């Protein structure tokens, strides 16, 4: 506890770093649980649009049967796949459609941590300088 008294306002630095670590850990847990795939929950219209685009190309149709889109597991890129019944840790996967992308809880923690860390060192420095050089009145 003496260290925390000698390092004033330590939480201004610790909280953003903790949020970033939790976001990274959350996303990595999903990747490990799904054997390197990151499931994405997409609504039916988006899956139909994606599967119909895949079905339009005969070479893609030969390598990927259309039933794989319905059952999940269809790879969207090298890491992301459509969420299916066999996906694990679904609540931590990409489930929040915001704008043109789908985000996970881990992504939200990462963005919040990086946003807080963009100004928290300056706040820590200003408050520490104020505490060192301004004497309490009374």
Per-residue pLDDT of 30-80, as tens digits, reads 999 999 999 999 877 666 666 666 555 555 544 444 445 656 678 888 898
Q: What is the pLDDT of residue 116?
A: 97
- Confirm whether 137 is domain-assigned: no
User: Residue 40: helix, strand or coil by DSSP?
Assistant: strand
Sign of the dihedral defined by the CA atoms of residues 78, 72, 63, 34, in that order: positive
Of the two residues 36 and 5, the one the predictor is more confident about is 36
- Confirm whether 128 is domain-assigned: yes
Closest C-alpha to 117, from 22, 23, 12, 10 = 12
Q: Using CB atoms within 10 A of its CB, is residue 16 exposed (0-12), middle (13-18) or buried (19+)?
A: buried
Of the two residues 117 and 1, the one the predictor is more confident about is 117
Q: What is the pLDDT of residue 66?
A: 47
Of the two residues 119 and 100, the one the predictor is more confident about is 119
- Confirm whether 63 is domain-assigned: yes
- Confirm whether 138 is domain-assigned: no
Mean pLDDT, all residues of the chain: 83
Q: How many domains does the chain have?
A: 1
Above 80 in pLDDT, residue 22? yes
- Do residues 16 and 122 touch, judged by C-beta distance below 8 A? no
- Confirm whether 91 is domain-assigned: yes
- Confirm whether 43 is domain-assigned: yes
Q: What is the pLDDT of residue 74?
A: 80
Of the two residues 120 and 76, the one the predictor is more confident about is 120
- Confirm whether 94 is domain-assigned: yes
- Confirm whether 18 is domain-assigned: yes
Q: What is the pLDDT of residue 133?
A: 87
Q: What is the pLDDT of residue 67?
A: 47
Write out the residue range of the structural domain in which residue 28 sits. 2-132
Terminal C-alpha separation, the chain: 27
């Amino acid at each position: 506890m003496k260290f925390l008294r000698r390092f004033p306002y330590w939480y201004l630095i610790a909280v953003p770093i903790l949020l970033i670590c939790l976001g990274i850990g959350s996303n990595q847990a999903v990747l490990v649980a799904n054997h390197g795939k990151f499931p994405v929950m997409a609504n039916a219209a988006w899956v139909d649009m994606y599967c119909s685009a895949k079905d339009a190309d005969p070479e893609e149709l030969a390598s990927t049967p259309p039933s794989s889109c319905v059952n999940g597991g269809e790879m969207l890129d090298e890491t992301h796949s459509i969420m299916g019944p066999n996906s694990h840790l679904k609540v931590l996967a990409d489930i929040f459609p915001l704008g043109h992308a789908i985000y996970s809880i881990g992504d939200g923690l990462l963005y919040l941590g990086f946003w807080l860390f963009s100004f928290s060192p300056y706040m820590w420095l200003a408050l520490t300088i104020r505490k060192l050089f301004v004497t309490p009145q009374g």
